[in-house]
Amino acid sequence: MTAAAPEGFLRACALADLEEDVPKRVELDGVPVSVVRTEGEVFAINDICSHANVSLSEGEVEDCQIECWLHGSSFDLRTGKPSGPPAVRPVPVYPVKIEGDGEAAAVFVSVTQES
Ligand code: FES
């Protein structure tokens, strides 16, 4: 059975679709979001770097950060803050909920509330 979406949240993907440290780009209500499973948690961060129009989901994940492949700024998956220049502005991060068990477990993201 498919898990129902919590109020205000949209289904991003099945939990089983997420490989550890491999970002997955989804679009929710027209918002590009990179969903990342790492260190036993799932995070959702806006997929566009705050420095230029580059997809963060094409970068690497390490130490709970996602790296922009173009100029190397990393963004904290918990806060969206950049580790250092050239990016100086944070990227929005969104609340995540996991609903359902086993194969039915799904990842839901609220793009209307920034966390
Ligand atoms: S485009 Fe991301 S750091 Fe420059």
Q: Assign 103 a pLDDT band (cuts: 50, 70, 90).
A: confident
Segment 33-51 mean pLDDT: 97
Pocket test residue of 70, 75, 81, 89 for ligand 1, highest count of atoms within 8 A of CB: 70
C-beta 58 within 6 A of ligand 1:
no
Q: Is residue 2 part of a domain?
A: no
Do the domain assignments include residue 26?
yes
Q: How many domains are there within the chain?
A: 1
Provide the β-strand partners of residue 98.
Answer: 107
Residue 88 included in any domain: yes
At residue 94, does pLDDT exceed 80? yes
Residue 47 lies in a domain: yes
Radius of gyration of the chain (CA): 14
Sheet holding 106-109, edge to edge: 10-14, 106-109, 96-99
pTM of the model: 0.94
What's the chain's average pLDDT?
95
pLDDT at 102: 86
> CATH number of the domain that 65 lies in?
2.102.10.10
Residue 10 domain-assigned (yes or no): no
**At 39, which amino acid appears?**
E
Query: Is the CB of 38 inside a 6 Å radius of any atom of ligand 1?
Result: no
State the distance from the centre of ligand 1 to the C-alpha of 107, rounded, in angstroms. 27
For residue 46, what pLDDT is reported? 98
Is position 89 within any domain?
Answer: yes
Q: Give the 3-state secondary structure of 87-112.
A: CCCCCCEECEEEECCHHHCEEEECCC
- Is residue 104 one of the residues assigned to a domain? no
Query: pLDDT grade, residue 40 (50/70/90)?
Result: very high
**67 is in which domain, residue-wise?**
19-96
DSSP 17-36: GPPBT--EEEEETTEEEEEE
Select from 114, 98, 96 the least CA-distant residue to 106: 98
